[in-house]
Structure 1
């Protein structure tokens, strides 16, 4: 009969269990039941504060170990625990500081309700629907983590209506435009500057992201087997041993991609940079900004009167050329590091583009079947 009694109840929508210094006797059980009734009543009235909880349960590990963090405290823990590149981390921090911290920083996590969040969202003058979606998704991610950690009993951000953001139309170059750009760069760039011509030939004919191109090292290139390994990125002047999708991939090299890499190898200085595309000025081992190659691209576009697109359009160009050539979406998706579904969603209008007209031609070839004449000789 000397064992203690435990009571269970909910506090701030989270199930709790406390051990009481009462023996398992009728008197001890009655005292425990009375204390539980008091706790339930205080919680119902919103009066079960941290101070009151500590008064009722002075030896609880719940309060002593401060397991009720504020939104500001938990958000910082959430952010610190994630493996993120610098740019992504800054985007999360910007969303938190701009939209959520001013109202929620000092509020205990379990005290944040869906109604409170709805009012905050309503009062914010959002710069764009994209900003709102990113900020709300960030908030929801924080509460999902808090729910998994047992800090809250539900995700109040899940009740915030999601806004639909119209996906930006991709704007690839045509194959003819891409070839003109590459030819112009090779024709006008001399000496070590030719590295930028090789850079864009590889970009147009592998679909690699700019951040992947800038981080490509010779150790990841196998010219004999005609493939390269994409396993790192350059972000904000730093090399990160990971890629955007978190999964490294092998890119198979066509003849144009091989030509680009062979040109880069010819330009390689013995004992020089281990990166495939080092800056022409030799001031560092790798190009630290996407703006450096972009300047040469924009100059070429201006010289040839080709409409300017951003550097990333080279990736879209490769994808659309592959699809229009009849390559399977699964193969193209592997080359780009996409899922097949993302590929289909992004490039749907370029898939079967030629066969679509064959389908349309069926309409011009269609003729009404001859009408039958009724047996009574009357034409209907």
Structure 2
């Protein structure tokens, strides 16, 4: 090849049959070279584990995955997650292989060899691999995504666990009772969370310039991700959230506590920055309240679920609720189907 002698390993065993097969491969290579038909791509196909670096037109998986990752328009934390998944699970198996010779069988073998921490980790890793392969299809390097015939692990859907309306009211009252001074901001924070259903990252990123007490609206257009301010939200669609009386009350308390130059509605009480960087900042006050009240421990994110279920139980229009929460209607109906049914079950039964 290129006037150089090369010694390439073959998968054949040292048996008469294997020696004959290797001889046949050698003869084929010599004939292709003699005819001038040997290309880098064909050579890599014949010897996929070659130690020689070829000036290939078709990239290796490692090369293509790097280009794919660099081209993604995503925040740094998401990029780091993608990079970690690729390096941890797929580069050891496929980095040096040309992307067009990776088969479904190769992927199944790689999946079987990995000791997965959980079904969720496996599903996430396989989804990332499939995205890379699908990009290779669109770029014309492969004809079909080999991940399509690799079965996906089924995940148990995380159960929604909202608070009862009475529990929410008791938590809010308890926080206002026990938090004084600057820490009172966390009582307002959770009242606002229970009655707007904002995602925690969205609420922590809310600025005064995006609220209108006159119009009773909050414009949701950014979020906090791993302590950093991001000018985008999870669904990538900004929205206006209408504020009811309870949300307006929380806003008025936050206004009373705000410094003259405050930009964020719910800043950290200890003055450690302009915005609350992590859920753990308010977590202590929230869990202390649950302990005092004897309420079963749940996540702060369940404040959002509580708002959704309270709206459904009140008979509000699902399309309006979905818009308030930043969901699709389909997502709302699938996530909270239990509460949609419960609002009308007895009315339907009474028709009998």
Given the alignment of the two structures, is residue 299 of structure 1 paired with residue 306 of structure 2, yes or no? no
Residue 70 of structure 1 deviates from its aligned partner by 1.7
TM-score, normalising length: structure 1: 0.78
Could you say what secondary structure the match of 2:270 adopts?
A: coil
Could you say what secondary structure the match of 1:289 adopts?
A: coil
Residue 85 of structure 1 deviates from its aligned partner by 2.9
Residue 35 of structure 1 deviates from its aligned partner by 6.7
Structure 1 gap segments, 5+ residues each: 1-33, 55-62, 364-380
Distance, in Å, in 1 between the alignment partners of 2:77 and 2:293 is: 34
Distance, in Å, in 2 between the alignment partners of 1:173 and 1:49 is: 57
Distance, in Å, in 2 between the alignment partners of 1:114 and 1:74 is: 18
Of 350, 354, 361, the residue aligned with 2:343 is: 354
TM-score, normalising length: structure 2: 0.84
Provide the residue aligned with 1:96 in structure 2: 86
In the TM superposition, 1:1-380 aligns within 5 A as 38=37, 43=42, 46-47=45-46, 67-271=57-261, 273-362=262-351
Distance, in Å, in 1 between the alignment partners of 2:158 and 2:243 is: 29
Distance, in Å, in 2 between the alignment partners of 1:188 and 1:209 is: 25
Query: How far does the alpha carbon of each residue in 1:168-211 deviate from its partner, in whole angstroms, 9 at most, with x for none?
Result: 11100011111111111111111111111111011000000111
Greater strand fraction, Structure 1 or Structure 2 = 1
Moved more, 146-155 or 86-95: 86-95
Distance, in Å, in 1 between the alignment partners of 2:333 and 2:43 is: 51
The answer to whether the 8 Å contact 2:45/2:101 transfers is no
Distance, in Å, in 2 between the alignment partners of 1:219 and 1:157 is: 46
Aligned length: 316
Could you say what secondary structure the match of 2:345 adopts?
A: helix
Distance, in Å, in 2 between the alignment partners of 1:233 and 1:247 is: 12
Query: How far does the alpha carbon of each residue in 1:124-174 deviate from its partner, in whole angstroms, 9 at most, with x for none?
Result: 222222111111111110111111122222211111112221101110001
Alpha-carbon spacing, 1:45–1:299, altered in 2? closer, same or farther (3 Å): closer
Residue 262 of structure 1 deviates from its aligned partner by 1.1
Residue 49 of structure 1 deviates from its aligned partner by 7.9
Distance, in Å, in 2 between the alignment partners of 1:106 and 1:230 is: 45
The answer to whether the 8 Å contact 2:218/2:241 transfers is yes
Could you say what secondary structure the match of 2:335 adopts?
A: helix
The answer to whether the 8 Å contact 1:85/1:235 transfers is no
Structure 2 gap segments, 5+ residues each: 1-33
Residue 93 of structure 1 deviates from its aligned partner by 2.4
Q: Point out 4+ residue stretches in structure 1 off by more than 6 angstroms.
A: 48-51
The answer to whether the 8 Å contact 1:146/1:152 transfers is yes
